[in-house]
Every structure is written in C-alpha cells, then in structure tokens.
Structure 1
Amino acid sequence: MSGQTPNAAEGALSAGLPKPLDVGNGLVAGSFGGDGSWLSLGAPHPVHGFVEMLASPPFDEEQRGDPAAVRRYREQLTQERFAFLRLDLPDEQVPERRAVLDSEGRPVWHRSGRGWTCSVTAWALPGQSALAQRYVIEATPDVRAVLRFGGRLDRSALAEITEVNPPLPLDVHSDVEVSSGELTVTAPVLTTSARVAVHATAGRWVPDAGCAAQWEITAGDGEPVEITVTVSLAPPPWPGDGLRPTAPAPRITQADPPGTLEHIAAGAVRYVLGCTALDVGHGDRTILTDHRLLPLSWTRDAYYQALLLLCAAPDDHDVTDVVAGHLRWLWGRGRTPGAPWMRSHLPDGRPKDLAVQADQQLYPLLELADYRRVAGRWPIGPDGGDAAYEWGRLITEVWQGLPRDGHDGLLAGAENPADDPSELPFALSTQILYWHTASQLAPWSSELGLDSLQLEQTAQNLSGAIARAFTCEGPFGSQWAYETDGNGQHRLYHDANDLPTALAPTWGFCSPEDEHWIATMRFAFSPHNAGHVAGRFGGLGSAHTPGTWTLGDAQELAVARTMRDNARAKAVLERIGHVAGVDGLLPETYRADSGRWLARHWFAWPAAVFGILHFGITKGGRNVWRV
C-alpha cells in the first residue's frame, strides 16, 4: 500500500518544516507531515522490537550496509506523499500552510484553499495507546473534503549506516476491515492490530482500491465542520505483564518560552517523555534514540536523555520515576548478567548490534549515580529487593568487568563513540568518562558496600594515567590526543560524539584554565582537525556522517561558556537557532553552507544535551552553566 494521493505534495515537508512533528504519551509515538497528515504511529513490541502503522515503501533488504540507500530510505519516512492517513481539500494553497505548537505543546496546522480554511490539532490520549486529531473546516457551500486511508502495519526496518547485525527479513501482510465508522488493520505475523475511528457530523468509511478506504464529507452549510480521528495501536502484551498499564508518561505542558535554549530544552523534554521513554511493561521504560529511524537503545544516548529529565524536573516524582523505570530496564532486561552492554538493544532489552564499546559500559553506572544524587534515594532494583544491596552487587559486577588491559588501568575499546572502528585502543573521552563515573560513585561507596573497588583511588590514578598516555604536541602547543596505544603513538582528532572531553572542566576533571584542555579544544574547532567543517554554518562534525553536527554545536556552547566567551556562545546559539525545528528538535547534521537538515530528522540526543546545558547539571544551588 503506497499511501499516495493525487493532491499529495511531492518531496519532503511543506509548511516550512525541516522535520515532521511528533506526538506521544510514553505508550505510543507518531509523526505528522506539514499538512497534518499521519506518517506513522508506533510502539515497542515484545518480540519484533518496534512496530508501526505507516505507508512508506519497505526498506530494500538487499541494500543493507549501503549508507546512501539508508539515507534515501530515511528521507522517504519524512515525505507527505507517503502518509497513511490524510485529509484532502480542493485547490489548496500549499505555500500558505503553517504549523505551530499551541500552549499545551500540541502541533497545530493551518491550511487554506479557494473557499475554505482548515485548522488541524493533534494530541495523545492520556493512558491509551492512541493519538487523536481534530480538523475544523470553515468553507463556502459544497466544499468536498475526503479523508483517505492507505496504510499497513510493519516492523521497523532498523536500517543503520554502520550495519552490524541486521534483523532477519520478515514477511508482514496487513488486512484491512472496513465498517461504517471504523477501520481495523491487523498483521497476524506481528500479532498486532490498529484501529482508525472517525467522529464527524456526516459520512462513513467506504472501501477503495486494494486495502484503502476513504471518508467523504461536504462542508459549507454555514457552520464549521469538525472531524475527529482517533488511531490506536495494540501490540501484544508484554510477557507476564497481563494488561498494559494505562498510566502515560508525565509531560511538561508549556508553550516554548522565548530564547533558543529554552525552545530546544522544552522540545527535548516533550520528545523524550512522549516518544522515546516508552513503557515496556512491569513498570520498566526503555529510552530509545528515536521513535522512527532507529527505535533502539544505546546506553550513551539514553544517559543524556535521562539526565535531561533529572535536570528539568528534579523534584517531580512522576518525571524522576521515568528514569527509575529506565534504570530497572537497563540493569534488568537490558543486560545479560556477566556480559557487557552491546552497541544497541531492542526495546525488549535483547541485544541488537553485537559490538562492545567501552564508554557504553560506564553510562549505566553514571545514570544510577546521577539518579541517587538528584532523587535522594536509590530506585527499586530489577529484582525488587533491598535497593542498596542490590545496586551495590550489580555495580560491583559491572565495575570488575570493565575492559582494562594493563596500560595504567585505561579502558580499551574496538569501537569509538561514533560507532566506528577505533584506530588506537584507548579513547580520551572514554577515560575522562571513566574518571567522572568513579568520582560520582565514590560518595556512595559505603552506602553500597563498594569500598573494595577503591573508587576514589581509581579516580586519582586515572588523572595521572590520562596525562601520561594522552599528552602530545599539537598545533597550539601541548594538548591531549583523541586516541593512543599507551606506548607513545597518538591520533590527533576530535569528534562531535565525544562530549566528555568538552565537559571535562564542568565535571571537575581539570580546571577551565588547564592549558592542555584549552589547546585540545582550540584544535577541535580548527581546520587542523579532520572533524572540523568549514562554511557559514560550519562547526564540529564527525567522520561518521558528513555535515555540521548539532552535538558539535553543543560542545562548542559548553566550551564557550566554560571559557566565559559570551560572543562565541551567542554565535553558537544564533547558528543553532537557525537550524532548530518549530518543535525545538535538532537533526544529527546539517549543511554548512545553508543550515539545511542533512541526516537523521529524528534524533533525541542533541536536543537533550542542549536542554542539559540550559537547565544545568547540578541539583540545587548555583547553575554552573548560566553564568
């Protein structure tokens, strides 16, 4: 089912949007085109990872491992011509379309044509696996509106730029049953169903060619016409969980306040609570990197999203409980005892990409320490026993299994934080993260029974070990290398994914006046660095994907604030303000000459980091970022 309609705009989005607008409630998440058309409605699945209603063509399995093919497929997912549900009205003035967020953070689209105007509002239904949309049409007599459906249920393709373990092909067929007021879509292979219900003053669903259907209504009798559509999704229940819990994720309802950082921070919180921190039964929550392209969990991405929630609402138990649910998932279903966390995991916790990255073994430890620091208590553990004893036992097991290889206790890794192969085994950002994690856990050592791990001593030893292993000469004097072999070989480079290096003074690893850190950061944002991107909208990028990276912009803002360089901080905010979407979200990369979005129209991590920089990373007291 293609989902195409005669009036569909070709290409990507209208309404001046760089990305679709998203709505979710922690149970389901969906995306909408620039005309309010439904691009997707998805949810975690206990067997198949993530399922969704959509109409875009399936990913060609023969093109696995082809980055260009993956990017083309991802672009398709943004295009209005592949909507599964849309309202068609005659002679629309497409350039006049507009989309905004209302005071509740709900997307609202304004459309118009000859003899009519239409406003469209979408929202999530609290406690239900459903989204709703209301169309209000004001028109001259006899304006014909047609609601068109043409969608299917499918498993997420999980098409990656750097494929490691692609999912096995799955032949999914959808059946559509049409009744007067409701469409029912079922996919027996997925044991999943969806329903499309319409409430309107007139009309009924009428079968169209294939598995499509349409609902026709005539407007223009002097009164506005209202049409409300509710689309629900029902994957099977999680094993042992019975009926799905009905409590949605909490949400912070607010209009975006003025200012670039405020706008991005509000959007990031909405997106995480609604679309990535998703319920997976038993009171657990996975945190996904996004809900459309890669609904998978990396401990790295998930950490910064969890920290965002702790920073945004440290005293709101409903919000901090989302992080507690993620910690239970992360250390329970999301981890195999005695084994490391893999590169990525499916929403049910099973490993997806079977590659090990050293830094991803640290983020779960750090998230737990941050939760204790902010919430003032330990969350209930995966086994539900004595929290301090259980967490102490789990931390000890993970800590003792960290990939130390004998070079001053440094952590070795075969992949770097960009998911690319390491050229040398020891990455600077991973060692700084290691030091920070030891430092953050140390205050709770006695409480958790961790004295034998000698966390304070480990942090002290790491400071000297990092200086010895990574110090080398660079274009601006003595600096730290990106990678080393521990025996005098260094690689000079800096990547947008390596946030710990930029955050080193904020975490207390070094002072803001440290000459090695300053030289390293000067190198990072200079043409001497292969990760530097030149242009009007240039900045820090990555060998992983071309373009200026928004994570690089976040690093530069952190560096500018640490150095108290207000002019530089202002310039970064102006650049990122030009790039940010109407919902405050950010891409992975954008063009250095124009600011146009290039890659990953859905990506929670960058906006989450900017939100952390806005809210501050300490609980109470002075916000170290807002000087």
Structure 2
Amino acid sequence: MKLSRINDDGPHDSALHDPEALAGLVDAVRDRLGEAVADAVGRCMSDTLARTITRHPDGTAFVITGDIPAMWLRDSTTQLAPFLHLAGTDARLADTIAAVSRRQQASILHDPYANAFNDGPTGGGHRDRTGDPVTGQSPWVWERKYEIDSLAYPVQLAYDLWQITGRTDHLGQLGQVARTIIDLWRTEQRHDEASPYTFERTDCPPSDTLVRDGRGPGTTFTGMTWAGFRPSDDACRYGYNVPGNAFAVVALGYLVRLASEVLHDDQLADDAAALRSELERGIREHGVVVGPQGEQVYAYEVDGRGGVLLADDANSPSLLSLPFLGWCRADDPLYTATRDLILSEANPYHYSGTTASGIGSPHTPERHVWPIALAIQGLTSTDPAERRRLLDLILTTDAGTGAVHESFHVDDPGTYTREWFSWANAMFCELALETAGLRSYRRPATEAATEGEAAR
C-alpha cells in the first residue's frame, strides 16, 4: 500500500499528540514487519490526527468519519483505537482522547437515539420523520438511526482511557450518561409497548427506513434490548441484534466498575449489573440457535417469535468481532462454531473471488468485502499466519489510492467504495500492531461470557 496520496501535507497539530511517540511506534513496526507496513501505519495514523479531529475551547473534540463531515459515535471511538496504545505515555494524546470522550457523552445527553452528529446546530445531514416527544430531530443531529452500539462505544472509550491512564477528568457527566443509557436500553427491551422511537425516511432504499409506520420490526420480549438499525446503519430485519446486545453486556460491565470505583454510586452499579444480567440471559436463551449442521451458533438477529437470521455483517459489533470487543475468548467453542459459519457461504454476506474472500454488507454492492472485516478476522484469529496473510491482503488492495477503503470487489480491488474512511484505516493499524506484537491494551472476556461457557 503506497499511502503517498493520503493528504498528510498539512501541519500536524502537536497539541493533539507527541510526534515522537508516534514516530517511535512506527519505527517499532518497521523493525518487526518491514517498511511497507510501517509506512502505511504511520500515514494512516497521521491522517487521523491531521484531518479528522477538531479541538474546541470547551474541552471537547469533534471527529469526522472521513469523507462525510459528521461524527458517528461508533466511528469516532474506533478511529482512536490504535492511539490507545500510546495514551499511557503521551499526555497530549490522552488529552485529545479525553476531549473526544467528553463530546461523545454530551452528544448522548443531547439525543441518546441519534447515531451521528454535526459540529454545531448546523442542520446538516438527513431530515427524517422520527418520533420523540421531547427532541424530535435536532439541528445538532446528522442522522437519528437508533443503534445499540452508538451508546456502547462511548462507554468503551471512556472506560479504556481510565484503564490505561487512571484519569477521571473526562467522566464528569458519566453518571447522567449511564442513567440515560440504562433507561433507554430498558425501554427498548419492550419496544412495542414502551418506546417513543420511530423512524421514517422517504425516497430511499428499504434498508434506510423502518417498517410499520416507522416502528420497525416487531418483537416479543426476550430480555435483550431492541434496535432499529445495525452498526452498518441498515435497518434490522428482526429487532434483536445479537452482537449489539453482547456489546451492551460488555459496556454495562464497564459501567459497573466505573460506578463503583470512580463515581462511588452503588445504586448505579447495581442497576447496570441487573440489566447486564438480563441482556446476557436473553442472548443465551434466544440468541443461541441451531446452525445448518446441527451445531449451536450465535444468530445475527432474532425477534423472539421464531425469526432468526444466520449471517454476519462487516460492521462491528459483529459476531466475528466478539472476542475483540471483550465478550468471549477467541477459542470459545460457541464462538469458533459461529466463526466457521459466518466465514463460509452459509453467511449470505460472505463473498469469495479471485483477489479476496471475506465478509461484506448489504450496505455496499454485492461481492464487495470490507477491509474492516478482514482486519477483525485477523484480530480475532488464533493463527499468526492468518493475521499476516490478512494484513498483506489489505495492504495490496488499495487500488493505488493510498487508503483503506470501505469495501472492494472480490475480483477487482479497483472497484471500491469510499476513498477516505478513517475507521478502515484505524482497523488496518490495529491489525498491524497486533501482528507486530505491539498492541499494549486488550480487553479480557466478560465474566458473563466465561460463566456462560462454563454452564455449557
């Protein structure tokens, strides 16, 4: 991958990070993996710092996703993933991550159902019919597609920064944010009866709006929490997205610790723990199904009424990403059985061609695989050779643009979507650091997943 066409000619704001710390990391990659990988990592990480992050005087920072000038709560977390490995020794970088975390938490308090925000009340983005008796769709909101992970990812970032640095100055609003998240996830356990949320978009593909006058797919109570949209921003076919719920369990575990050890709020910790247990039980009782070979596997979506989708999408949280998120170990038998299924033709979103094979998404054209999914496949692999193979595959499928794309055609990498997609750049860097043995921070499997494995 020749990254010379990524625009890193502008000034690198040294207020955002210590350039020597990043240079040292890139040098370590060069020593272990060679010049081509090191060049790619250095340019991808520099691009994120140079072009996506805007610091504001109020102590927050806004992060655009790349070629769309909006801040997704999911993307802004994942874009920072490779920088977490430097945050413990680079105080300026830790300040930048803290500023992003503050902005994420403020955004959740502004509208917890929104997935993407503007850098101010500009009115940019989509103007949809979306029911909420309090806010409707604010001019601060770019898009109001409700996705579980939009709430879980900011919790993850806040927790990770605390774990790595010990700092708590970014957690001033966390108690209110945690209450907001818990209340919303409880409401959405009974979406049909209790939720104020609806979403309708006109003149669009069916995947961009919700059925039943905007109420979305109907469900029966399972203990899991409902979502209108997947992490791909595509509408759910069934209401309970299983990897989204697994990620919510992980995030609630983080809230238990933060409430207990930082906020000293025992009631909040108890409430988070109780909901965590309910979601985890719902996954075990309704999200684990019989696969095509008679094996137990995780479903991608269910509705509690018998509807089951056996699939996986390239966007994370995905079933493939469960060990990376901290839900389970990579050698968990239930996970490995699911992995075998979703990395095969049994997954309708898995494609194979002359150049690559991997997981794609209905969000992009058929027979397009996503480098994010290839990176996640490597990050969750127990085979070092597979990790290196996937790293090299991403490195050689940039079509000469110098960037990791959203997706590319399995027979022709020159046919791709999104030339500038910062999340994809970040996941390439995470895989490179893992392959080089330089990822200094990992999330252990949740107690819930460990207990579930023991019960099986």
Deviation at 1:340, TM superposition (A): 1.1
Q: Distance in 2 between matches of 1:470 and 1:605?
A: 28
Q: SS at the partner of 2:189?
A: coil
**Cα–Cα, structure 1 residues 335 and 478, in superposed 2: closer, same or farther, change >3 Å?**
closer
Contact 1:473 1:479 in 2 (8 A): yes
Deviation sequence 1:419-438 (CA, Å, 0-9, x none): 11111001111011101101
Task: Report the CA distance between 1:570 and its aligned residue.
Answer: 3.0
- Equivalent position of 2:75 in the other structure: 301
The residue type equivalent to 1:524 in the other structure is I
| Correspondence for 1:538 | 357
> CA offset at residue 587 of structure 1?
0.5
Higher helix share: 2
Task: Give the alignment partner of residue 372 of structure 2, picking from 551, 554, 571.
Answer: 551
2:337 aligns with one of 514, 519, 538: 519
SS at match of 2:46: helix
Pairing 1:354–2:137 present: no
- 3-state secondary structure, aligned to 2:286: helix
Q: How does 1:102-501 map to 2 (within 5 A)?
A: 122-124=9-11, 247=15, 250-251=18-19, 252-253=22-23, 257=30, 258-259=33-34, 262-290=38-66, 293-332=67-106, 334-337=107-110, 339-348=111-120, 350-380=140-170, 387=172, 390-402=173-185, 403-406=187-190, 407-446=221-260, 447-453=262-268, 454=270, 455-476=272-293, 477-501=295-319
Where structure 1 has 5 or more consecutive residues not aligned to the other structure, the ranges are 1-15, 24-121, 128-246, 382-386
Structure 2 CA distance, aligned partners of 1:329 and 1:19? 31
Aligned residues, how many? 378
Worse overlay, 367-376 or 574-583: 574-583
The code of the aligned residue for 1:21 comes to I
| Distance change in 2, residues 1:450/1:618 (3 Å) | farther
Matched, 1:21 2:6: yes
Structure number with the bigger relative contact order (C-alpha 8 A, sep ≥ 6) is: 2
Superposed CA offset, 1:247-292 (max 9, x none): 56654345772446544433332122111122233232111101xx
Contact 1:250 1:273 (C-alpha < 8 Å) held by counterparts: no
Contact kept in structure 2, 1:261 and 1:610, CA below 8 Å = no
Amino acid of the residue matched to residue 404 of structure 1? Answer: E
CA distance in 2, matches of 1:344, 1:478: 35
State how far apart, in whole Å, the 2-side matches of 1:559 and 1:620 are: 16
CA distance in 1, matches of 2:184, 2:375: 32
- CA distance in 2: counterparts of 1:302 and 1:548, whole angstroms: 22
2:374 maps to a residue whose letter is D
Given that 1:584 and 1:607 are in contact with CA atoms closer than 8 Å, whether structure 2 keeps it comes out as: no
2:385 to 567, 591, 597: 567
1:505 is displaced (CA, Å) by 2.9
| C-alpha distance in 2 between matches for 1:125 and 1:462 | 43
How far apart, CA to CA, are the structure 2 residues paired with 1:391 and 1:278? 22
- The residue that corresponds to 1:529 in the other structure is 347
Q: 1:618 to 1:371 in 2, by over 3 A?
A: farther
Q: Which amino acid is the alignment partner of residue 79 of structure 2?
A: Q
Alpha-carbon distance between aligned partners in 2 of 1:545 and 1:495, rounded to the nearest angstrom: 11
Query: Partner letter of residue 116 of structure 2?
Result: S
Alpha-carbon distance between aligned partners in 2 of 1:20 and 1:358, rounded to the nearest angstrom: 35
Specify the code of the residue in structure 1 equivalent to 2:315: N
Q: CA deviation at 1:579?
A: 1.9
Change (3 A) 1:444 1:475: same
Which letter maps to 2:259?
S
Pairwise CA distance, 1:330: 1.9
Q: Per the alignment, do residues 439 and 288 of structure 1 end up closer, same or farther by CA in structure 2, a change over 3 Å counting?
A: same
1:457/1:482 CA distance change after superposition, 3 Å: same
**What is the rounded CA distance, in whole Å, between the counterparts of 2:177 and 2:384 in structure 1?**
43
Query: SS where residue 539 of structure 1 aligns?
Result: strand
What CA distance in whole angstroms lies between the structure 2 residues aligned with 1:566 and 1:498?
22
Q: CA RMSD in A?
A: 3.0
Amino acid at match of 1:452: Q
| Distance in structure 1 (CA, Å) of the matches to 2:427 and 2:142 | 25
Indicate the SS of the match to 2:188: coil
Whether the aligned pair in 1 keeps the contact of 2:225 and 2:279 (CA below 8 Å) is: no
1:65-76 matches, cutoff 5 A = none
1:591 aligned onto 2:401: no
Q: How far apart are the structure 1 equivalents of 2:376 and 2:149?
A: 18
Any conservation in 2 of the 1:470–1:483 contact (CA below 8 Å)?
Answer: yes
Q: Distance in 2 between matches of 1:125 and 1:380?
A: 24
Q: Give the letter for the 2:159 counterpart.
A: A
Give a deviation string over 1:161-186, Cα, whole Å, max 9, x none: xxxxxxxxxxxxxxxxxxxxxxxxxx
Cα 1:310/1:568, change in 2 over 3 Å: closer
CA distance in 2, matches of 1:274, 1:609: 18
1:348 deviation in Å? 2.5
1:504, 1:495 → 2: CA distance? Answer: 13
Deviation of 1:608 (Å): 1.1
For residues 544 and 524 of structure 1, the distance between their equivalents in structure 2, rounded to whole angstroms, comes to: 17
Quickly say closer, same or farther: Cα 1:366–1:336, change in 2 above 3 A.
same
Partner of 1:145: none
TM-aligned CA deviation for residue 582 of structure 1: 7.5
Shift of 1:298: 0.6
